[in-house]
Structure formats: structure tokens, C-alpha cells
Structure 1
């Protein structure tokens, strides 16, 4: 029998997570220069369009089909086109329709792909990005989602009715809502692509400031709002776990924003709006895997340290010479690593996950599991992404030309501009032109 309350919460959470992708588009779009804003936003929207289709065709089956090989891959043909799932089926583990879970996991796949785009802002061909998105989701995200999110199901009589992925079931690392599958995965992929495409023209020499900080702040606000569906929705029920996760998500994010702003103040002498927005995202990233495993006080500690670590990590690209345009590595990879590994230190046995950590009466047992899971996803994602990106660069070309980069990717690739200034500076019919002409005529008399 369908539990309508849980089903409503899952569908609502799915809608909240879907909103995160337009929020990300605004967040990323405001951070680039004005000549790149449309392309940046289109990369998120393009990912949403493509991945939603691939998820229905075979993505869900690869991620949540019955395992066909050592916990690495679900059966691609088991639910191809979501066959057999439109009936009034409820999951074995809960009283919600399978299709509700399909929709909820679809938006996770979308946002993960979209996150990568920030690492290659200003210089990637849109067509190449779309090809990359489809190939990467197929080869990297769908299988890793199987590793992390697909749990083995055992019937009451002890019969195994479904076999899931190795990280969730064999390693038993905790990742409640996607610290490994989403953030470490996207962060490692962003680093690999940044290396394949190379640096932007003028990187390290020219100022590449965000062109619209209000857009950044709006985007961060939408991400924070949608993230309650991302994390609390992962409880897959309207219950105490969802409530604890909701509170932990709130407080860790606030602590991270404070940590980032304080770091800026000490290091640079001022706290910025960009820092505040980035701190919000850093906290959201870090609490994602740990939100069911820590107490609210633990969430504050985790979040505050995430803000400091990520604020310091964004400078690594200048030290090591890779051009991660919008700090996907510094925020998502570093934040995801910290949040995943911190479970081994800060997990409270009284939290819903019920895990003992090193600082709460446990041992290093959970810690090593967290480290292995995080490193495995990092390495696999980085290597496969580098190969995919290099293959696209060598065949169809991934990066636009230097001349096109200087001219502006919006005009060159999309034949559009994010801002129409002609009413101010162009055309004989503009108000500015008419006013200037009137003054000139008046002065000549």
C-alpha cells in the first residue's frame, strides 16, 4: 500500500533538487564575465535536458538494476525505458511508488553533471560539452551511483531479492546524499577537464571577476533552498531522519558561511558577498554525506571547518597552475572529501545512522571505510574523465579558439548576448543618441 505522505515528500524533494540546477546556472552565470554568462547557464540547462532523457532510457537501470558484476554495474536492460515500472508498484524497502524514486534520483544525476561545467567556464564548445555530458553520465555517473546508492534488498525469509553496489553494501561507507557520488565525483571530473582544456587566456595575469554578484547570491540562495530536498529528501520518508537531516543541513551551512567569511577577513582584511555565497555552497557540500551521521553540534563543527578548508583550497589552482574557473575543485572536491572523511571522526551513535566514530567511542573502522570510498570515487572519476575529455578534444575539439574566447563565447557559440546595451549606446533611434544630438545642435547655436 502506498504511503501518501512519504510519496508526497519524495516528489516535493525531487522538485526542490530540480530547482537546484537553475540555481546553479545563476550561481555560475554570475561568477563568469558578462561575455560568457549565457553559455555558462546553457551548460546547466543542456545537462538537464540530456540527462533526463538518458536516465529514463538506461541510466536508472545501470544505477539501480540488479548487479551484474562485483557491485560495479546494474543491469542496463532490466529497466530499459523504465519498462515495467509504470504499474502501481511500491518499493520493497518503503511504501512509495518506484517511479517516485526514479524521479528523485534523476535530478541527482542532472545536478552532478551540471556541477562539472564550472571548472571549464569561458572556453568549452557547447556541442562538445553536450557530447561529454552524455558519455560521462553513461560511463562514470550511472555506475558510481550504483556503487553508492543501490542497496542490496533481502526479504523477510532471508532471500536476497536485489543485489546493489559495492560501496554501499560491501565497503559499508556512509554517504547519505551524495558526498562521493555527486561532489567528489564532479570535483575530480572538473579537475580532469580543466587539465584537458588548459588555462583560459590571461589566467593568472588578467582580472576575471564575477560580472554579477547579485546573480551569484540569488543562485546560492536557491541552492540552499533546494538542498533541503537533496539531503532531507534522501531519507525517502517524512520521518525523524528527515527532520534531523534538515536541521543539520541548515546549521552546517550557516557555520560554513561564517567560517569562509572569517577566513577572508583574517587573510584579506574584508569579507565578501562572493565569499559568503561560496561558503554556503561549501557547507552544503560537506554536510551532504554526513547529515544523518552527526549531531547538530557535530554539523556546526563540520560546517565551520569546511568553510575554512574550502576558502583556503580555492587558491590551490594558482599554486599548482590548473585553471578551475569557478572553483569546482576547491569547493566540491575538497568539501566532498572533508564531509565524507569527517564521518569517521564526528559520527554520533545517537544520530539516525547510528555509527560510532573515532571521537565518539569508536575506532578507526568507519574512518578507513570512508577514506577508501572517497579515494576510489576520486581516482576512477578523474581517470575516466581525463580519457573521455581527451578523446573529445582529439576528435571533435573541446575548446574554442583563442580568437573566439577573446570575442566572447556567448556571441560566437550561441549568437546571443546576455545583456543588450544597444538602447544605451547604439543605433540612431536610441535615447542616448537623441539626447547627445540635441545637445550638440543646441551648443552650435
Structure 2
């Protein structure tokens, strides 16, 4: 039987059954939007009644998400106080914003209160369920939950527009994201060795744990990537809330600083975790297929790989076997194709920059052209080490941000997926310059370290 050190049996039961409350919450979201649409069609206005209904539906979503763990484990008496507490906290947030917000200092805005509310909510639920480190769990899990779920489920501006696929997916994955991160935070603060498990690329990762961990980290990572892109677009266009691209747009410097730090931190955590999970599973099943590793970073294609890898039989039984396989495996020929493909894409970007007439200043075009040309040249030296990979990622980010800034005010803003280019670092480093960390390297037999 494969080893499963990441989640307890109780935690796995909850996470594996999160599709049930996900369907309930998604259905509630659809019903809420249908009701509002009906009110607007009949009365040409949603009215205050629709606002109340939308708020109640949102409170119901959070109550279902947080109360699912005791329900899944047949501890029904614990579910009611959790659901009631979550509803009370939600209504308290609405009251606080409506009644007290105008008297607060200018450095505190609704976005700041939203972040605090998310942490308090997670901490209180952890306290009710008698977790030892409830405050630590509340802050760590609450922050990640806030920045990965606050779209249609934010207690901020009420969404009175047509339902969309992103809203549906956010609703469906809400319970999984909530308990996935709460369980990781709980295990992290309860077990000193758990940090090593999460930071390792050579752990024996079972198909059952991979089936839960990979979608949690990959989904959260891509949510943060698009969340950051939406925030940049909101800042560029001056739109906010549901009229804009991000719930986290703020006029307060403190809030913007917190959002920037948290989005970068959560991105690094989820990207690193995605890399470690994918690599640990590949080592466990003795796979050295670089294309399959690449597909872990491509949305939609990664679903196929997730299904395939979840059902593969483990060939290695210890981290030492994984470590030996990691350093003795033959390098995949994928890097030759990546260099060629990257060069072709960069050549196309250089041609686009040369032909582009959208930017008014020739200096901007010249700077973008110079960056993209340097990026093109860098691709041919990817196999020369880690420094070249970092240079390529920096050039890619600089080019994306420069083109976005140059297009501001043109009415045709590109999507600033700068974090997606940074994500490529975690892939490229394992293809062109793989190495074990000190803790992982300590698992190697002496014959490989002498």
C-alpha cells in the first residue's frame, strides 16, 4: 500500500467529498442570479430586495463550505454552530461596513476589512473545532482563502449581473479551497516535519494524496495569476469591485501594499508547491517524461496528466530511491524542442514589436524591441545554467509589463500575465538546471555525495 503522509483519513474523506457542497453552492449561485435577473426583467431594477437575497445566498455559500467537514464525518452536532457562526460573521461584516465604515481612518477601507474578515472567519471556525493553533491557522489559511475565492463570494459589492463561468467554477471549488488550505495550515503548525514534506521534491507521494494536493496548489496558483492580472487592469482603468477586473482594488496605500505582498507570497507558495508535488509524483512512479512535466503547468492539459498520474502505480518506496532516481535519470530531449519553440515564439514577438504602431512613442517601441531581442538570444543559452533561466524570466516579465504600461489609455489593454512568465521558471529550472536542496540531498547514499 502506498504511503499517505500529507492528510489524515478524516481530512481525505472531507476533501474527496467536497464536490457535494460544491454542487450545492454552485446551484445556489445560479438561483441567486436567476432571481436577480427576473427582478430586473420585470421591474427594470433589482431593488433592495434583490440585494438582500444576494447577501443571504452568499452567507449560505460560506456556511455550507465551512460546515462540510463535520457533515462529511457524520458529526452533525458540530455543523450547526459552525454554519450559524459563519452566517453571523458575514452579517456582522455587512453591518460593520454599512454603519461604522464612514467613521474609520482613511487608511482602512473595505478591501482591508475583507482580508481581516476572512482571517477571523477561518480562526473562529478552527476555534470551534478545537484546533490547537487556531489563530495561526486562521491567519495563514484565511489569507490564502481570501485571495483565491473573493470573486463572486466576496461580502463586498453585491453581484447583480449575469452569472458567468468563472463565478460557477469559484462556487464549485469554494469548499475544496477552504478546507484544502485549512488542513495544510493545520498540519503545518501541528507537525514540525510537515514543512519538509511540502518543500521536498523527492517525497513518496501516493496517488491519493497527489489527487488532492495537485489540484489544490495548481488551481490556487492560476487563480492568483489571473487575480493579479485583473488587479493591474483595474488600476489601469480605474474600475473596481464587480465593475472592474479585481475585488482588491483600493485607494489606500496600506491595503495595496498588503495585497501586493500577499499575492506575490501566495503565488510563490503555490507555484513552489505545484513544482514539488509534480516532481515528487514523477519520482515516485519513476517518470522522466519532460512533456508530462510541462503539461502540469498548462491549464486544461494538466487535467489529463492529473488523471493519468493519479492512477499510476508507485515504483519507488522511499525518498532515498526517489533522490537517486532524480540525480541519475537521463535528461529528457524536451529541452532541445523548448529552445527551438521558445526562439520561434520570441522571433514572432520581435516581429510584432517591430510592426506595432499602437504605441505613440518610438522610444517605447525601441525599448520593447530591445528586450524581446535579448529574450530571443537568451533562449539559445538556456542549458548554460540557472542564471540564464532567471535572466530569461526577468526579460519576459519586463517585456510584458512594458507593453501593458505602454498600452494604458489606448482602450486595448493586453492581459498582464507577468506571474505566468514567472511560473515558467519553476518548469524551466527542472528541465535545464535540476538540483536537489540540502535537505533532499541528505537522503542520497554516500556513494552519490562523495
TM-score by length of 2: 0.28
Query: Which has more helix, going by share of residues?
Result: 2
TM-score by length of 1: 0.28
